[in-house]
Amino acid sequence: MMGFKRRLGRFFDHQCNRTMILPMDHGVSDGLVAGLDDMPGLIRQLAETRVRGVVLHKGMALELGGLLRPDQNLVVHLSAGTKHGLPSYGKTLVCSIQEALRLGADAVSVHINIGNDLEDRMLSDLGMVVDEAHQLGLPVMAMIYARGGQIINELDPHLIAHCLRLGAEVGADLVKVPFSPEQKIFSRALKSCPVPVVVAGGPKQDDFQGFLAMIRSAMDCGAAGISIGRNIFQHPRPMEALDQLWNTISGQGCNEAGTG
């Protein structure tokens, strides 16, 4: 088995083959973000949770990566862009795969947006990252969204299906997309995708029980897990939110505390 496949396997619970990833890369795009004021404290609390991976930019990975539990995977995010940029959906690479390895990365991630005038460059970045990361034994998570001047509805189920298929076609090992409200189309897209797909959480939701119901629907469609940020770290009780999410995605026989 190739090294990047072995590393990817460490993201998944051995009993239920599901994963729970916590992205904490929002400071680059948004600046000061509620819930991420004390990132060291938050990461220390993750030791008692079923979180399998944490996404950090290289600066935070350097300072905070050592706080992760030994079996919790560090994902170094390679893409950056701010909400103030023109256009705001533009993403560019700000970290090399070699630097991610020096920081102890277990995987790298790339964010690309399709349906805009920068799509070609972002796709080129993803293709290059996949080639180089695989040569060095690192799996790649592709975060793919339909955003930009050509997009009317970012949650169009056909666009989301295109995003997840695109990630697999370009060689990503794990694809992150929003959940489609059209479950039949989403389920069909997942069945046709040869690599695992995790669901993004999107903006903070006021109705957490309704949010859990959405996640349950995604799991029923065949999603492999979740990669959710704001709906965890902006929750009044983040560790409780993580427990509820794990119970939602894992099903029976996979809910005892521990690492799986």
Active site residues: 25, 145, 176
Q: What is the 3-state secondary structure (H, E, C) of the chain?
A: CCHHHHHHHCCCCCCCCCEEEEECCHHHHHCCCCCCCCHHHHHHHHHHCCCCEEEECHHHHHHHHHHCCCCCEEEEECEECCCCCCCCCCCEECCCHHHHHHCCCCEEEEEEEECCCCHHHHHHHHHHHHHHHHHCCCCEEEEEEECCCCCCCCCCHHHHHHHHHHHHHHCCCEEEECCCCCHHHHHHHHHCCCCCEEEECCCCCCCHHHHHHHHHHHHHHCCCEEECCHHHHCCCCHHHHHHHHHHHHHCCCCCCCCCC
